[in-house]
Amino acid sequence: MLPVAVDAMGGDKAPDEIVAGAIQAAEELGVPVVLVGRPEELGDTGGLDVIPASEVIAMDADPAKSVRRMKDSSLVRAAEAVRDGKASAMVSAGNTGATMGSALLRMGRIKGVNRPAIATPIPAPGHEHPTVMLDAGANAECSPEMLVQFAVMGAVFARRRYGIETPRVALLSIGEEATKGSPLVKETHALLADGAVEAAGATFIGNVEGRDLMGDDADVVVTDGFTGNVALKTLEGGLKAIVGAIYEVFGSTEETRAAADVLLPALIPLAEQLDPDTTGGAMLLGVDGVCIISHGSSSAPAVVNAVKVAAEMVEADLVGELTAAIRPPE
């Protein structure tokens, strides 16, 4: 397998944690990894090859401008490596918009794909696998046709990533009835109900609500990138607020601290399930290559998981499967 290109400069903890994760991934998973970034800033790369890139796109930089202007940035070079057959996939915890932009610019779209979408795994405690939600923020404005493509791509991804033979695809709305929701949702519902995902081996199960995201009702939940991003961030913020409040109670007296000492080890598996570092990151579906967008706060274990998922998706020929599932408009 060609190496997975890891953007060593992207993320709040770059380059140290990213490099450490890349080294660990290569050692523990046996997956070939190549780092992309400023060689002089990477420290000991543990023998990993480096694709040099002199520029770094900042986390808060304007994505479109940066990608256009910074042709020697680690992000653009990572995407280029995939395009040029020097890497099998790219992984970045950097600027999300610039990661998408670089992938689009250098890898291009899969033939027939209108717009790529970000597929994010939403943890579903107590259930076998997370819920795949897309689009989690690539496209603030969507058409019904785009959402239908997201549904098809999400179904293919859920099958390859989680082994779900016939993924249940749902549409995010504000009520289960087909007549509820925004005009976008109603039109998309009609297209999906008309059999738009059946050719991809999936089943459309109708609308779900925000409360179903962390449950087991659907395998794939489709929405526009604005709503999806709000839902994802709301969930992140909500979990953070509640976990923070619980920890505060745990630490409030000597008695509660002692009780918490007993409970905390038992809570670790749950905490891990909710930690975005464990999911392997989000996937940019629709570009002509495997591209993983990790959380900006990624530390070494997140990079290990992202490299693992990237390698699995390359082995599973995710891009080939997506290409076959997307029929260009006639």
Which residues make up the interface to a copy of itself (CB under 8 A)? 124-126, 137, 140-141, 172, 174, 180-183, 185, 209-215, 223, 225-227, 229-246, 248-250, 252-253, 255-256, 258-260, 262-263, 266-267, 270, 274
Q: How far is the CB of 130 from a copy of itself (least distance, A)?
A: 12
Q: How far is the CB of 271 from a copy of itself (least distance, A)?
A: 10
Residue 4 or 213 with smaller CB distance to a copy of itself: 213
**Segments in 172-317 forming alpha helices (H):** 183-193, 225-250, 254-274, 300-315
Beta strand 117-122 pairing with 282-285: antiparallel
Q: How far is the CB of 240 from a copy of itself (least distance, A)?
A: 7
Residue 1 or 271 with smaller CB distance to a copy of itself: 271
Q: How far is the CB of 190 from a copy of itself (least distance, A)?
A: 16
> Is-contact 106 83, C-beta < 8 A?
yes
Q: How far is the CB of 117 from a copy of itself (least distance, A)?
A: 14
Please enumerate in sequence order all residues whose Cβ is within 8 A of that of 258, keeping only pairs 6 or more positions apart, or say none: none
Residue 232 or 285 with smaller CB distance to a copy of itself: 232
Q: How far is the CB of 73 from a copy of itself (least distance, A)?
A: 20
Residue 87 or 172 with smaller CB distance to a copy of itself: 172
> Is-contact 131 97, C-beta < 8 A?
no
Strands annotated E in the chain: 4-7, 33-37, 49-52, 89-92, 117-122, 131-134, 168-172, 203-208, 220-222, 282-285, 290-293
Spatial separation of the C-alpha atoms in residues 309 and 320, rounded to whole Å: 16
Residue 165 or 211 with smaller CB distance to a copy of itself: 211
Spatial separation of the C-alpha atoms in residues 306 and 215, rounded to whole Å: 24
* C-alpha 58 chain-centroid distance: 20
Spatial separation of the C-alpha atoms in residues 47 and 11, rounded to whole Å: 22
Residue 163 or 237 with smaller CB distance to a copy of itself: 237
